[in-house]
Structure 1
Amino acid sequence: KPKSVQLYNQIGNFWRIKGDAQKSIECFRRALAVSPHNAEVLLNLARVLFNLQYLDDAIYLTRRSLEVQPPDKNAWQQYFTLGEIFKAYGHYQEASLHLRHALELKPEFEPALAALKDMESIPDTTIHIYTLLIIICLVLGVLLVILSSVDGNLEAEYSEVKTQRHFNRAMAMRSLKMGISPRALRTKLV
């Protein structure tokens, strides 16, 4: 069994490329057991977890890798990885920030340029969702006002129609038998 961090890291990358995430995770964990503050191993493990959609763990490990990164080494990979993870989360502003930082450190890095270009084509859905909610609330409010006024008008018309259509057969028959004019009866009632 190898004790070298670099050897565990290389074997872990081999398994990652081959598609065996479990074996690569095991190799990276062994490397971290030997050297828990190795930025490269932390980043490689974060990338495997990102591919498995363990986004929170991937963010933690990538940030940890960034913290322990030696000052003489360029951290563009960490920023690029954070950008990818936040893009997967749908946090496009934060993803854009990290991808731009990666490009500052490595200006011609094509995957970062492509990811930024891809995000520029995505509309800012938060604005659209809020706008849509405001429009829906306004439409519902207008409909409520219209329905309440129509309902009030219908009740008024119904009550008028009800009084106009009220017919008392017994009273009509009595007035006919007694020879009383229906108009005279109406004027007495009002």
Structure 2
Amino acid sequence: MNRLPVVATFIALTAIATMIGLGIWQLQRAEWKDELLATYATARDQPAITYPSVPVAGDPPYFRRSTVNCLQVLGWRAVSGRNAKGESGWAHIAHCRTSGGEGPGAQIVAGWSRSSKNPEWTGGIVGGVIAPDSQYIVRLVANDPVAGLTQSQPPSTEDIPNNHIAYAVQWFLFAAIALIIYILALRLRNRR
């Protein structure tokens, strides 16, 4: 009778157990993401909130209605975006001063256009919906565009990826494939 190779068996079983653990973790993340998206889906129906002066990365108020007073536009950035009709172009985001200089200010999606050229807007009161922002955690997408821009596509929970089930299946398949390869390697070894 052939003995199992101890080191190879240990490495294979550790790798397989790790992949199964990662699959279970992705299933747990899928459940968490479903709850998070359900919370976001009900956020628009809740009362408007004060725009966060210092947003917290772990609990941002995404999809809540809010209003910001842009006292001064400090700068602009144009990012690829869509308008309310779904057409591709540029979303114009104003970096605004909202107080006497303290705090990070506010990012306001002032509107959309086909051109990346910054609009002529110096500030004002803007109402809209709080959305995710890759650089500043949150930004306000204006309900009514300013400076001749067209309305940007409103933020949607459908834009937040929820592919944890697919990742879980992927990890479980990797574990199964690793087990099959290990069994085939053992059979080949035992034929010698």
For normalisation by structure 2, the TM-score amounts to: 0.31
Higher relative helix content: 1
Pick 1 or 2: higher relative contact order, CA cutoff 8 A, min separation 6.
2
Higher relative strand content: 2
Larger Rg: 1
For normalisation by structure 1, the TM-score amounts to: 0.32
